[in-house]
Amino acid sequence: GQQLNQSPQSMFIQEGEDVSMNCTSSSIFNTWLWYKQDPGEGPVLLIALYKAGELTSNGRLTAQFGITRKDSFLNISASIPSDVGIYFCAGQGYSGAGSYQLTFGKGTKLSVIP
Amino acid sequence: NAGVTQTPKFRILKIGQSMTLQCTQDMNHNYMYWYRQDPGMGLKLIYYSVGAGITDKGEVPNGYNVSRSTTEDFPLRLELAAPSQTSVYFCASSSRGQGGYTFGSGTRLTVV
Protein backbone atom coordinates (compact mmCIF):
# COMPACT_ATOMS: atom_id res chain seq x y z
CA GLY A 1 0.00 0.00 0.00
CA GLN A 2 0.92 3.68 -0.15
CA GLN A 3 3.21 4.99 2.57
CA LEU A 4 3.27 8.39 4.20
CA ASN A 5 6.30 9.58 6.15
CA GLN A 6 5.26 11.99 8.87
CA SER A 7 7.79 13.86 10.97
CA PRO A 8 8.63 14.46 13.67
CA GLN A 9 7.20 11.53 15.61
CA SER A 10 6.92 13.62 18.76
CA MET A 11 7.58 17.16 19.93
CA PHE A 12 7.93 18.87 23.29
CA ILE A 13 7.55 22.63 23.04
CA GLN A 14 7.12 25.60 25.32
CA GLU A 15 3.76 27.33 25.37
CA GLY A 16 3.84 30.24 22.93
CA GLU A 17 6.28 28.60 20.52
CA ASP A 18 5.49 27.85 16.89
CA VAL A 19 5.29 24.24 15.67
CA SER A 20 5.94 22.73 12.27
CA MET A 21 5.32 19.16 11.08
CA ASN A 22 5.28 17.62 7.63
CA CYS A 23 4.36 14.62 5.55
CA THR A 24 5.99 13.21 2.44
CA SER A 25 4.91 10.46 0.11
CA SER A 26 6.27 8.54 -2.84
CA SER A 27 2.79 8.78 -4.42
CA ILE A 28 0.78 11.70 -5.73
CA PHE A 29 -2.40 12.63 -3.89
CA ASN A 30 -5.44 14.66 -4.99
CA THR A 31 -6.16 15.93 -1.51
CA TRP A 32 -4.17 16.43 1.68
CA LEU A 33 -5.89 16.50 5.06
CA TRP A 34 -4.72 17.26 8.57
CA TYR A 35 -6.46 15.77 11.60
CA LYS A 36 -6.04 16.14 15.35
CA GLN A 37 -6.80 13.34 17.80
CA ASP A 38 -7.36 13.90 21.51
CA PRO A 39 -6.97 10.98 23.95
CA GLY A 40 -9.91 8.57 23.80
CA GLU A 41 -11.48 10.34 20.84
CA GLY A 42 -11.61 9.96 17.08
CA PRO A 43 -9.63 12.21 14.73
CA VAL A 44 -11.13 15.61 13.99
CA LEU A 45 -10.52 17.37 10.68
CA LEU A 46 -8.44 20.56 10.98
CA ILE A 47 -7.67 21.54 7.39
CA ALA A 48 -8.35 20.11 3.92
CA LEU A 49 -6.22 21.04 0.89
CA TYR A 50 -7.44 20.33 -2.64
CA LYS A 51 -4.97 22.01 -5.02
CA ALA A 52 -1.22 21.76 -5.46
CA GLY A 53 0.41 24.86 -4.01
CA GLU A 54 -2.66 25.73 -1.93
CA LEU A 55 -1.97 27.48 1.37
CA THR A 56 -4.86 27.45 3.84
CA SER A 57 -5.26 28.84 7.35
CA ASN A 58 -7.65 27.95 10.14
CA GLY A 59 -7.03 30.28 13.08
CA ARG A 60 -3.49 29.64 14.33
CA LEU A 61 -3.09 26.69 11.94
CA THR A 62 -1.63 26.97 8.45
CA ALA A 63 -1.18 24.10 6.03
CA GLN A 64 0.17 23.81 2.51
CA PHE A 65 -0.31 21.32 -0.32
CA GLY A 66 3.10 20.79 -1.90
CA ILE A 67 3.67 21.69 -5.54
CA THR A 68 4.73 18.13 -6.39
CA ARG A 69 1.50 16.80 -4.75
CA LYS A 70 3.70 14.45 -2.73
CA ASP A 71 4.01 16.48 0.45
CA SER A 72 2.28 18.78 2.90
CA PHE A 73 3.13 20.70 6.04
CA LEU A 74 1.19 22.00 9.03
CA ASN A 75 2.26 24.97 11.14
CA ILE A 76 0.77 25.94 14.49
CA SER A 77 1.60 29.41 15.71
CA ALA A 78 1.76 30.56 19.34
CA SER A 79 0.99 27.13 20.81
CA ILE A 80 -1.33 26.81 23.80
CA PRO A 81 -1.89 23.89 26.21
CA SER A 82 -5.03 22.69 24.39
CA ASP A 83 -2.93 22.07 21.26
CA VAL A 84 -1.71 18.88 22.96
CA GLY A 85 -2.65 15.77 21.02
CA ILE A 86 -1.68 13.64 18.05
CA TYR A 87 -1.70 15.26 14.63
CA PHE A 88 -2.17 13.08 11.56
CA CYS A 89 -1.64 13.91 7.94
CA ALA A 90 -3.67 11.99 5.37
CA GLY A 91 -3.33 11.82 1.62
CA GLN A 92 -6.39 11.06 -0.47
CA GLY A 93 -6.46 9.53 -3.91
CA TYR A 94 -9.13 8.29 -6.28
CA SER A 95 -9.39 4.49 -6.12
CA GLY A 96 -12.02 3.97 -8.80
CA ALA A 97 -15.79 3.36 -8.94
CA GLY A 98 -16.55 6.69 -7.28
CA SER A 99 -14.39 5.91 -4.28
CA TYR A 100 -11.61 7.90 -2.66
CA GLN A 101 -9.31 6.41 -0.04
CA LEU A 102 -7.30 8.02 2.73
CA THR A 103 -3.77 6.96 3.62
CA PHE A 104 -2.71 8.16 7.08
CA GLY A 105 0.70 9.09 8.42
CA LYS A 106 1.77 7.60 11.77
CA GLY A 107 1.14 10.85 13.60
CA THR A 108 3.05 13.57 15.45
CA LYS A 109 2.52 13.61 19.20
CA LEU A 110 2.61 17.19 20.46
CA SER A 111 3.25 18.06 24.09
CA VAL A 112 3.08 21.68 25.26
CA ILE A 113 4.91 22.73 28.40
CA PRO A 114 3.10 25.60 30.15
CA ASN B 1 -26.75 16.24 15.96
CA ALA B 2 -25.11 12.92 16.95
CA GLY B 3 -22.79 12.49 13.93
CA VAL B 4 -21.13 9.06 13.95
CA THR B 5 -21.99 6.84 16.92
CA GLN B 6 -20.01 3.72 17.79
CA THR B 7 -20.91 1.06 20.33
CA PRO B 8 -19.57 -0.37 22.53
CA LYS B 9 -16.77 1.95 23.70
CA PHE B 10 -14.81 -0.89 25.30
CA ARG B 11 -14.88 -4.67 24.99
CA ILE B 12 -12.76 -7.60 26.10
CA LEU B 13 -13.08 -10.79 24.05
CA LYS B 14 -11.64 -14.23 24.51
CA ILE B 15 -9.77 -15.84 21.63
CA GLY B 16 -12.22 -17.46 19.24
CA GLN B 17 -15.25 -15.42 20.32
CA SER B 18 -17.18 -13.31 17.87
CA MET B 19 -18.70 -9.86 18.12
CA THR B 20 -20.16 -7.03 16.09
CA LEU B 21 -19.01 -3.45 16.40
CA GLN B 22 -21.88 -1.12 15.69
CA CYS B 23 -21.65 2.14 13.74
CA THR B 24 -24.50 4.51 12.96
CA GLN B 25 -24.49 7.94 11.33
CA ASP B 26 -27.34 10.41 11.12
CA MET B 27 -25.92 12.72 8.44
CA ASN B 28 -27.28 10.79 5.46
CA HIS B 29 -23.72 10.16 4.24
CA ASN B 30 -23.29 7.61 1.46
CA TYR B 31 -19.68 6.76 2.24
CA MET B 32 -18.71 4.86 5.37
CA TYR B 33 -15.42 3.38 6.53
CA TRP B 34 -13.89 1.18 9.19
CA TYR B 35 -10.34 1.81 10.38
CA ARG B 36 -8.16 0.24 13.04
CA GLN B 37 -5.51 2.13 14.96
CA ASP B 38 -2.59 0.40 16.65
CA PRO B 39 -0.24 2.23 19.07
CA GLY B 40 2.22 4.49 17.30
CA MET B 41 0.66 3.76 13.94
CA GLY B 42 -1.68 5.61 11.70
CA LEU B 43 -5.13 4.38 10.83
CA LYS B 44 -5.45 1.39 8.54
CA LEU B 45 -8.55 0.92 6.36
CA ILE B 46 -10.38 -2.36 6.97
CA TYR B 47 -13.52 -2.05 4.83
CA TYR B 48 -15.48 0.71 3.20
CA SER B 49 -18.86 1.28 1.57
CA VAL B 50 -19.90 3.79 -1.08
CA GLY B 51 -23.60 3.24 -0.46
CA ALA B 52 -26.22 0.86 0.86
CA GLY B 53 -25.67 -2.65 -0.46
CA ILE B 54 -22.08 -1.96 -1.62
CA THR B 55 -18.98 -2.85 0.37
CA ASP B 56 -15.34 -3.34 -0.51
CA LYS B 57 -12.09 -4.40 1.13
CA GLY B 58 -9.53 -1.96 2.37
CA GLU B 59 -5.90 -2.52 3.27
CA VAL B 60 -6.38 -4.96 6.18
CA PRO B 61 -9.68 -6.88 5.71
CA ASN B 62 -8.63 -10.36 6.89
CA GLY B 63 -10.59 -11.57 9.90
CA TYR B 64 -13.41 -9.06 9.44
CA ASN B 65 -16.71 -8.80 7.62
CA VAL B 66 -19.12 -5.94 7.01
CA SER B 67 -22.60 -5.32 5.70
CA ARG B 68 -24.43 -2.18 4.64
CA SER B 69 -28.17 -2.81 4.49
CA THR B 70 -29.11 0.82 5.23
CA THR B 71 -27.50 4.20 4.64
CA GLU B 72 -27.23 4.79 8.39
CA ASP B 73 -25.62 1.57 9.64
CA PHE B 74 -22.30 -0.08 8.88
CA PRO B 75 -21.55 -2.89 11.38
CA LEU B 76 -18.16 -4.61 11.54
CA ARG B 77 -18.12 -8.31 12.40
CA LEU B 78 -15.26 -10.28 13.95
CA GLU B 79 -15.97 -14.00 13.61
CA LEU B 80 -13.03 -15.68 15.38
CA ALA B 81 -11.27 -13.11 17.53
CA ALA B 82 -7.46 -13.29 17.65
CA PRO B 83 -4.95 -11.34 19.79
CA SER B 84 -3.76 -9.57 16.63
CA GLN B 85 -7.18 -7.90 16.48
CA THR B 86 -6.56 -6.05 19.74
CA SER B 87 -6.82 -2.45 18.60
CA VAL B 88 -8.92 0.69 18.61
CA TYR B 89 -11.55 0.66 15.87
CA PHE B 90 -12.91 3.81 14.28
CA CYS B 91 -15.91 4.19 12.03
CA ALA B 92 -16.13 7.24 9.75
CA SER B 93 -18.48 8.67 7.16
CA SER B 94 -18.42 11.27 4.41
CA SER B 95 -20.94 12.85 2.10
CA ARG B 96 -19.05 12.76 -1.16
CA GLY B 97 -16.04 10.50 -0.79
CA GLN B 98 -13.49 13.20 -1.44
CA GLY B 99 -12.51 15.46 1.41
CA GLY B 100 -12.70 15.07 5.15
CA TYR B 101 -14.40 12.26 7.02
CA THR B 102 -16.36 12.49 10.27
CA PHE B 103 -15.08 9.94 12.77
CA GLY B 104 -16.77 8.26 15.68
CA SER B 105 -15.12 8.17 19.10
CA GLY B 106 -13.88 4.60 18.69
CA THR B 107 -14.23 1.13 20.19
CA ARG B 108 -11.28 -0.18 22.21
CA LEU B 109 -11.12 -3.97 21.77
CA THR B 110 -8.86 -6.31 23.68
CA VAL B 111 -8.61 -9.99 22.74
CA VAL B 112 -7.17 -12.24 25.45
pLDDT for position A9: 95
**Distance between CA atoms of residues A84 and A98, nearest Å:** 36
In A55-84, which positions are buried (b, 16+ CB within 10 angstroms) versus exposed (e)? ebeeeebbbbbbeebbbbbbebeebeeebe
> A90 and A100 in contact (C-beta within 8 Å)?
no
Q: What is the pLDDT of residues A4-19, one digit of tens each?
A: 999 999 999 999 999 9
User: Taking CB atoms and an 8 Å cut-off, how many pairs form between chains A and B?
Assistant: 62
Is A40 close to B58, i.e. CB distance below 8 A?
A: no
> A63 and A76 in contact (C-beta within 8 Å)?
no
Q: Is the dihedral of CA B47, A30, A64, A106 positive or negative?
A: positive
Q: How far is CA A104 from the centre of its chain?
A: 9
Q: In terms of Cα–Cα distance, which of A44, A47, A42, A43 is closest to A31?
A: A47
Is B101 close to A102, i.e. CB distance below 8 A?
A: yes
Task: Mutation target for B interface from A100, A103, A108: give the one with most B CBs within 10 A.
Answer: A100
Q: What is the pLDDT of residues B28-81, one digit of tens each?
A: 999 999 999 998 888 999 999 999 999 999 999 999 999 999 999 999 999 999
Chain B residue with the nearest C-alpha to that of A36: B103
**Distance between CA atoms of residues A99 and B2, nearest Å:** 25
Residue B72: count other Cβ atoms within 10 Å of its Cβ. Answer: 17
How sure is the predictor about A2, in pLDDT bands with cuts at 50, 70 and 90? low
**Distance between CA atoms of residues B22 and A105, nearest Å:** 26
